[in-house]
Amino acid sequence: MKVDEALILNLEKLARLSLEADERVRLSADLEEILQMVAKLEELNLEGVEPLRHMSPVKHQVRQDKEEAHLTIEEALQNAPKYDKPFFTVPKVIKR
């Protein structure tokens, strides 16, 4: 699997990263090497094998529809890099 620029740019976009040019070259090469290692999985015949989706043997774990403690607005905002009480704030999203 070749990790070309289009692929790495798409992954950066999906993961919300913007790599520096040299970083991009380096990580692309790493990724390519990792995928080469991962390609080993192709050797196995997996026909009819059900994917293992959940590791816990627990089935049907639900909670009652009961209210639990909330954070105060102060607690909710205390870790926020930016806020305008009682809101978190982010750079303005321009609506069309």
Q: How far is the CB of 10 from other proteins (least distance, A)?
A: 8
**25 is an interface residue for other proteins by CB under 8 A:** no
When binding is defined by CB under 8 A, the residue of 2, 6, 18, 21 that contacts other proteins is 18
* Contact residue for other proteins among 16, 21, 22, 25 (CB under 8 A): 16
Place of tokens 């070259």: 25
Cα gap 29→81, rounded to integer Å: 34
Using CA atoms of 24, 29, 31, 32 in order, give the dihedral in degrees to the nearest 10. Answer: 140
50-69 residues in contact with other proteins (CB under 8 A) are 50-69
In the complex with other proteins, the residue whose CB is nearer, 5 or 34, is: 34
* Side-chain-facing half-sphere of 14: CA atoms under 13 Å: 6
